[in-house]
Structure 1
Amino acid sequence: MAQKLTVCVLFGGQSSEHEVSRISAVSVIKNLDKEKYDIVMIGITKKGKWLMYQGPVDKIETGEWENGHVARAMISPDGTINGIVKLSVDENTDELTATTAKIDVVFPVLHGLYGEDGTVQGLFELAQIPYVGSGILASSVSMDKIYAKLVFKDAQIPQAQWEVVYKYELDAIEKVVERIESCFEYPCFIKPSNAGSSVGVTKAHNRQELEKGLVLAAQHDRKILVEEFINGREIECSVLGNLNPKASVVGEIIPGREFYDYDAKYNDDTSQLLIPAALPEETANKVKQYAVSAYKALDCAGLSRVDFFVHKETDEVFINEINTMPGFTSISMYPKLWEASGISYPELLDQLIALAMKRE
C-alpha cells in the first residue's frame, strides 16, 4: 500500500464567512479517505489565533472546537505543524505536552478575506508547502470583484455594466447617488468588492435603498461595486484542473428570496438547486466555455466555481464572478456539480490533492 499523505485541513479564519468555512471543513474532513490520508486539523479563530485541533470533528461546525483539545500552531518551512502550547490532551488529564506533525499538503477550506485572497497562499509559498487551490495572484485578483471584472473585460467575456465607488466618496453621498442614477436604472446591485457569500450585498429599488446599500457595502470594504440589474437566471459551473481545466455540467439556483443572499444560501431551505440546469445545449456549452476562459484568464489552479446570469428572455450569458475556494458544505453547488458529472465527493478531494501536489 502506498504511504499515506498527511493533509492539513485549515478552517475558520477572520472573514465574515468564518462559520461557512467551518461547515465546509467538516464535510471535507468526513469525505477524505482515511485509508489514504492522515488528517491534521487547524482552525483559525476570528481573532486570528492558529490552533491545532484534535477533538471530535462535529464540534468544528458548532464552534465548540475552540474550548478544548487544541494547541497553538505554527507552520514551518520544513512542512511541519508545531503544536507549541498544548492546552489539553484529553478530558481526564491536565498534562501539558508538545506535538509535532509533518504535513504533505494543506487544504485551506477558507472563504473570503485572509483565506481566499492570496494571504495564506503567500504563507504556504514561503513555507514551500503544497496547497489546494489557486496561487497568490489568481486568488487575490479573483477575490477583488473589480479587478476580476477588468480581466473578464480583457478576455472579452460578457458582463453587466458596472461602476466603482470608493468609501471616501460617501462623504458626499448625494453626488455618488446622482452619478449611479445617471448610469443605471433601478433596481441595481451594490456589493463590497472584496467579500463572499453575498455578505454586504443589496438590491436597491430606489434612491433610499441605494444610499443604505452603499453605506452597508462600505462597512465591509473601501471599494464598492455597483452593477446594472440583469433579468437573468442564476447559473453556476464548476471548473477543475491546472493547465488543462475542465468544466462540469451546469447548474441553476432558484433563490427562495428575491436574490441569492447570505440567508438564502445558508439559512433558507426554500432555495432550489437544479442540476443540470434546464438550458438549451448551445447556451450551456457557452457557459462552460466562458467558465474555462475566465479560469485561464485569471491563471487559476485546482478549482473554482464560476457564476453567471443567463437572460430570461434572450438566453444571453453574462459572467457574474469567480470563487477560487467555493463552498464545500453538503449542499454546496461545487461538489454537487461534479457529482452530477461523474466524480464523487471523495474522488473530487483526491483529484484536488493530486493537483496541488503536482502544480506547475
Structure 2
Amino acid sequence: MGEKIRLGIIYGGKSSEHEVSLRTAMAIMNAVDSDKYELIPLYVQLDGNWIKGQPITGKLKGIDTLRLTEGNTSKCAPAHAGEIVPVQKASPVFGIGEEVDVIFPVVHGPNGEDGTIQGLLELANLPYVGAGVMASAVGLDKWMMKNVFAQAGLPQVKYIGVLRSQWERNQEEVVRRIEQELGYPCFVKPANMGSSVGISKAKNRAELLEAMNLAAKFDRRLIIEQFVKARELEIGVLGNEELLTSVVGEVIAAKEFYDYEAKYKGAGTELQIPAKIPQHVEQQIVEMAKQAYRALDASGLSRVDFFWDEENDQLYMNEVNTMPGFTPYSMYPMLFQASGISYSELIDRLVKLALDRHADKQRNIVAAEELE
C-alpha cells in the first residue's frame, strides 16, 4: 500500500435506489481527506455496465458529475481545474485490484447490498467496507432476516411471508390468511428492497390488494407485517467484533409511515437526535442492536431499527440495514455525529475496519496442504 490509501468507490447500480447511491457516493468523495486517500470512481450504470474514472481531485458539485459514460469525458474533474479526465469501460472488479487498496461499495438495494457485489469482491480478494456476503444477503431480505431474529429470540411484530407466485395463483386464500392472522391495518413490503421502496400501509381489503400488487412488482418474496402503534427508533452500530453504538434517534414521520418520499424528499419528517426516551429503553435498544448485529454476523456498519410501543413499554426489532444511507444528512452518520464521531472520521474508521477484517480473513487456511 502506498503513502495514500487508494479508495475505490463503487456506486450506481441496477436498482431503483440508483439515485440514492449517487448521493451517497458524492457525499463520501467530497468528505474524504485528500491527503489520506486517492479516490477511484467505479460507476455501475443502470444497464449494468461498469465505468472506471480517473482519480478524483477537488470537490464535486452535483450527482450528475458521477454519471460516467463509456468513451466520453468524465465530469469528475475538479471544478477549479478545468481539465478533461478520460474514462474507460471496466470489467467488474477483476483487474481493479491492482489500482485500489480497499473498496467502499455504496450500491444500495438489489445487486448491491444483497451480497452480490460483496461476493464479487471476495472472489477478487479485495478488502471492502461493510458486511460480508451472508450478512448482506440476509440483511436485505426482510423475510430471511426475521427468521434469523426469531431464532435469536428477538421480539418482533407478527408477520407472514408470501411468494409472488402464491399471490398470483390464489389471492383469495392469501388475503384470508392475512386478515385472520394479522388483520388491518398492516404493512406490505417487498422482501428485498431498501429505502422503503414498494412499501404500503393497507387499512382494508381494497388497499391490501393494491399493496400486494405493488410489492410484487419489486420482488418475488413479499412480507406482510401486523401494524403496531409505536415510535420508530434507530441506532447505529460500528465495528467488526468489538462493537460501538451511537446514541438512539427517533424518526417522526409527517406521513403515516417513513416511506421513500419522507426519507429522501423531506416531506416534513423530523429526526429527533437523541431520542427522548427512558434510559431503560435506550439500554435495551443497545443490547438488542448488538444481538441482532451478531446474529447476522454483520461487520463494518449497520443501522438497527426498532418499534417501541410506548403505551405497553414493548420494544420490537424492525430490521438491520447493513448499508444505510450515508450522506452527512442520513440517519446513520447523524447518529454518530451526535455521539462525537464526525462524518470524515466515520469514513476513516470504516476503511480501517475493512482492512482489519480482510487481514483477519487472510489467516484462514484454504488448502489441506497448508496444515503440513
| TM-score of the two chains, using structure 2 as the length reference | 0.88
Write the distance in 2 (CA, Å) between the matches of 1:254 and 1:127: 42
Contact 1:26–1:61 (Cα < 8 Å) also in 2:
no
Deviation string 1:227-258 (CA, Å, 9 cap, x unpaired) is 00011111101000001112111000111211
Residue 58 in structure 1 maps to residue 58 in structure 2: no
Deviation string 1:35-71 (CA, Å, 9 cap, x unpaired) is 1000001110110011113477334357654463231
Residue 330 of structure 1 and its aligned partner are, at CA, apart by: 2.9
Where 2:170 maps in the other structure, the secondary structure is helix
Match of 2:210 in 1: 212
Match of 1:90 in 2: none
Q: Given residue 338 of structure 1, which amino acid in structure 2 is its aligned partner?
A: F
Residue 68 in structure 1 maps to residue 73 in structure 2: yes
Count residues in correspondence: 338
| Residue ranges of structure 2 left out of the alignment (5+ in a row) | 75-86, 361-372
Contact 2:301–2:322 (Cα < 8 Å) also in 1:
yes
Match of 1:172 in 2: 170
Contact 2:148–2:295 (Cα < 8 Å) also in 1:
yes
Q: 1:78–1:205: structure 2 CA closer, same or farther, 3 Å change rule? A: closer
Write the distance in 1 (CA, Å) between the matches of 2:189 and 2:64: 27
Match of 1:146 in 2: 143
Q: Which runs of 4+ in 1 moved over 2 A?
A: 53-68, 74-78
Where 2:166 maps in the other structure, the secondary structure is helix
Match of 1:91 in 2: none
Residue 12 in structure 1 maps to residue 17 in structure 2: no
* Residue among 246, 249, 254 paired with 2:247: 249
Residue 273 of structure 1 and its aligned partner are, at CA, apart by: 0.6
Contact 1:23–1:61 (Cα < 8 Å) also in 2:
no
Where 1:175 maps in the other structure, the secondary structure is helix
Residue 209 of structure 1 and its aligned partner are, at CA, apart by: 0.5
Contact 2:255–2:267 (Cα < 8 Å) also in 1:
no
Q: Given residue 209 of structure 1, which amino acid in structure 2 is its aligned partner?
A: E
| TM-score of the two chains, using structure 1 as the length reference | 0.91
Match of 2:363 in 1: none
Write the distance in 1 (CA, Å) between the matches of 2:147 and 2:101: 36
Q: Percent identity among equivalent residues?
A: 47
Q: Given residue 235 of structure 2, which amino acid in structure 1 is its aligned partner?
A: C
Match of 1:343 in 2: 341
Where 1:131 maps in the other structure, the secondary structure is coil
Match of 1:286 in 2: 284
Give me the CA root mean square deviation: 1.5
Write the distance in 1 (CA, Å) between the matches of 2:66 and 2:198: 23
Alignment of 1:110-129 (within 5 A): 110-129=107-126
Q: 1:315–1:19: structure 2 CA closer, same or farther, 3 Å change rule? A: same
Contact 1:255–1:272 (Cα < 8 Å) also in 2:
yes
Contact 1:77–1:128 (Cα < 8 Å) also in 2:
no
Residue 310 in structure 1 maps to residue 316 in structure 2: no
Q: Given residue 356 of structure 2, which amino acid in structure 1 is its aligned partner?
A: K
Write the distance in 2 (CA, Å) between the matches of 1:57 and 1:323: 27
Deviation string 1:85-115 (CA, Å, 9 cap, x unpaired) is xxxxxxxxxxxxxxxxx10000001111111
Residue 268 of structure 1 and its aligned partner are, at CA, apart by: 2.5
Q: Given residue 241 of structure 1, which amino acid in structure 2 is its aligned partner?
A: G
Q: Which segment is superposed worse, 324-333 or 47-56?
A: 47-56
Q: Which segment is superposed worse, 126-135 or 50-59?
A: 50-59
